[in-house]
A and B are shown apart, each in its own frame.
Chain A
Amino acid sequence: MTLHTSTGRRASGYANAQRSVRSHVIWAVAIVATGLLLALAGCGGGARHQGQGNSGVTQQQNGGGSTSSTNNGSSANSNPAAVQGVDSLDQQSQNDAQSVDGTYNDANVGYSSQDTEQHP
Chain B
Amino acid sequence: MNLLQSALHSAQRRARNLPQRTAILSATGALALGLLLSLGAATFVSAAPKTVSTANTGTCAGNLQCVIQFGDARIQDRLTALNALSGKSNTQFQAGHITSDQNNQIQGDVTTNQDDLNTLKTKLDAETDITVARADVHNIYYQYRIFAIVLPRDYRELANDVMAHAKDRLKDGESTIQNAINGAPTSEQAQLNQLFGDYKTQVANAESQLDAAQELFPQLTPQNFDSNPASVETALSNIRNDQRTAHGDLKLAVSDLHQIRKLLDSGKGTPVPGSTPSGS
Please give the residue numbers on chain A whose beta carbons come within 8 Å of chain B beta carbons, in ascending order. Answer: 48, 53, 55, 57, 59, 62, 66-90, 92-94, 96-97, 99-101, 103-104, 106-109, 111-112, 114-115, 117-120
**Chain B 225-280 interface residues, beta-carbon cutoff 8 Å to A:** 240, 243, 247, 250-251, 254, 257-258, 260-261, 264-265, 267-280
A/B interface sample: 25 pairs, CB < 8 A: A53-B273, A66-B179, A67-B275, A71-B185, A72-B186, A73-B185, A76-B185, A76-B272, A77-B269, A79-B278, A82-B179, A85-B179, A85-B180, A85-B278, A93-B166, A96-B97, A96-B162, A96-B166, A99-B162, A106-B88, A106-B155, A107-B155, A118-B59, A120-B66, A120-B67
Rounded to whole Å, the gap between the CB of A53 and the closest CB of chain B is 7
Instruction: Check if A79 sits within 8 Å of B272, measured CB to CB.
Output: yes
B184 contacts the other chain (CB 8 A) = yes
If A62-B278, A104-B159, A111-B152 touch, whether A71 touches B166 (CB-CB below 8 Å) is no
Which residues of chain B from 134 to 154 have a CB within 8 Å of any chain A CB?
A: 134, 137-138, 141-142, 145-148, 151-152
Residues A119 and B57 in contact in the complex (CB < 8 Å), given A62-B278, A76-B272, A77-B267: yes
Residues of B close to A99: CB separation below 8 A: 92, 95, 97, 162, 166
Contact across chains for A117 and B243 when beta carbons are under 8 A apart: no
**Surface stretch bound by A, among B32-40, B41-49, B170-178:** B170-178
Number of B positions contacting A (CB below 8 A): 75
- Chain A residues positioned under 8 Å from B117 (CB to CB): none
B143 to A: closest C-beta gap in Å: 12
- Complex CA–CA separation, A104 to B88 (angstroms): 12
Question: Contact at A66–B158, with CB atoms within 8 Å?
Answer: no
Chain B residues within an 8 Å CB radius of A114? 77, 81, 147
Alpha-carbon distance A106/B184, docked complex (angstroms): 40
A101 to B248: give the CA distance in the assembly, Å: 10
Give complex CA distance A83, B185 in Å: 12
Contact (Cβ within 8 A) A77 B264: yes
* Docked pose: A79 CA to B57 CA in angstroms: 77
Report if B123 contacts A (CB, 8 A). Answer: no
B182 close to chain A: CB less than 8 A: yes
Contacts of B200 in A (CB 8 A): none
Judged by DSSP, the binding face of B is helix
Chain B 49-69 interface 0/1 with A at a Cβ cutoff of 8 Å (1 = within)? 010010001111000001100
Task: With both chains docked as a complex, state the minimum distance between the C-beta of A88 and any C-beta of chain B, in angstroms.
Answer: 7
List 5 additional contacts besides A79-B180, A97-B251; criterion CB under 8 Å: A67-B276, A82-B279, A103-B88, A106-B88, A119-B137
Contact check, B182 vs A70: say whether CB atoms are below 8 A apart. Answer: yes
List the 4 closest A-B pairs by CB distance, nearest first.
A76-B269, A85-B280, A79-B183, A120-B70
Q: Which of B67, B166, B189, B279 contacts A66 (CB 8 A)?
A: B279
| Given A68-B179, A87-B261, A119-B59, A96:B165 Cβ within 8 A | yes
Contact in complex: A83, B264 (CB < 8 Å): yes
Q: Is there contact, CB below 8 Å, between A112 and B147?
A: yes
| Cross-chain contact B250 with A71 (CB below 8 angstroms) | no
Residues B59 and A120 in contact, CB atoms below 8 Å apart: yes
Which one, A68, A69, A79, A89, contacts B257 given CB within 8 A? Answer: A89
Contact check, A69 vs B182: say whether CB atoms are below 8 A apart. yes
Q: How far is the CB of A100 from chain B (nearest CB, A)?
A: 5
